[in-house]
């Protein structure tokens, strides 16, 4: 079945560092890929959506692209701030028995120190 | 702007009790979802409900059941809770972009 693998469980950075998180996905269909971010005590919220390979999604200083050849999907930010500390999920949209459920990666906890 | 509302925020109960969580969305879509987030922050779909049709994930125990009064409300009932039901339960619904889901703040359940 469709799946997404997110290998980095924890990333620790200082302010102004470069952030890079990578995922791989598996699907037999044309993927719709998302990055969601979750802050403590809140539900996940959409950060970026990418529907076309090699096209770049951009939001709030974050960029995301996916490579169909390597079935990889990554998120990056040139200069992180302490407020970017959160859990980041790569997510695959899945047509699920008629509904469109989301398949979440295991999440990357990003901690940014001032 | 919040569009998916959940109550309560937090609930503590004992094994064997019945609980019910509420979810309301103002996005105008007729599809709603329940997800479970465990202590390791893993998020998994439980089921979805659209056009008055329930689509159940076969891995969901039968003690879980969704209850819908209209397309804006999808509650979650758990009969006879078990310790492994301790988790955060998140409700979601699509917006105008049907691929993108918007989540509520979640209900944290603790089963003693």
pLDDT over 80 at A108, yes or no = yes
pLDDT of residue A56: 81
- Would you call A100 and B99 a contact, using CB atoms and an 8 Å cutoff? yes
Q: What is the mean pLDDT of residues A25-48?
A: 90
| Gap from A88 CA to chain B (nearest CA, Å) | 11
Chain B residues near any Cβ of chain A (below 8 Å): 4, 31, 33, 35, 40-45, 48, 50, 53, 55, 90, 92, 94, 97-106
DSSP A81: -
Contact between A88 and A75 under an 8 Å Cβ cutoff? The reply is: yes
CA distance linking residue A49 with residue A90, whole number of Å: 10
What are the tens digits of pLDDT across the range B77-99? 999 999 999 999 999 999 887 77
């Amino acid at each position: 079945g469709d799946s997404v693998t997110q290998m980095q469980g924890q990333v620790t950075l200082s302010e102004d560092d470069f952030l890079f998180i990578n995922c791989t996905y598996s699907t037999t269909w044309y993927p719709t890929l998302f990055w969601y971010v979750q802050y403590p005590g809140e539900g996940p919220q959409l950060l970026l959506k990418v529907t076309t390979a090699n096209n770049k999604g951009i939001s709030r200083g974050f960029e995301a692209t996916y490579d169909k050849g390597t079935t990889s999907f990554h998120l990056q930010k040139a200069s992180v701030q302490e407020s970017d500390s959160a859990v980041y999920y790569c997510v695959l949209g899945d047509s699920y028995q008629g509904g469109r459920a989301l398949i979440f990666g295991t999440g990357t906890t990003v901690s940014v120190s001032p | 702007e919040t569009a998916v509302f959940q109550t309560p925020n937090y609930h503590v109960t004992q094994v064997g009790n019945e609980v019910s969580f509420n979810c309301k969305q103002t996005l105008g879509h007729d599809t709603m979802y329940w997800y479970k987030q465990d202590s390791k922050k893993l998020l998994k779909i439980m089921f979805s409900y659209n056009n008055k049709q329930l689509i159940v994930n076969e891995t969901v125990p039968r003690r879980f059941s969704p209850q819908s009064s209209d397309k804006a409300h999808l509650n979650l009932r758990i009969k006879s809770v078990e310790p492994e039901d301790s988790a955060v339960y998140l409700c979601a619904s699509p917006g105008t972009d049907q691929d993108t889901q918007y989540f509520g703040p979640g209900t944290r359940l603790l089963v003693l």
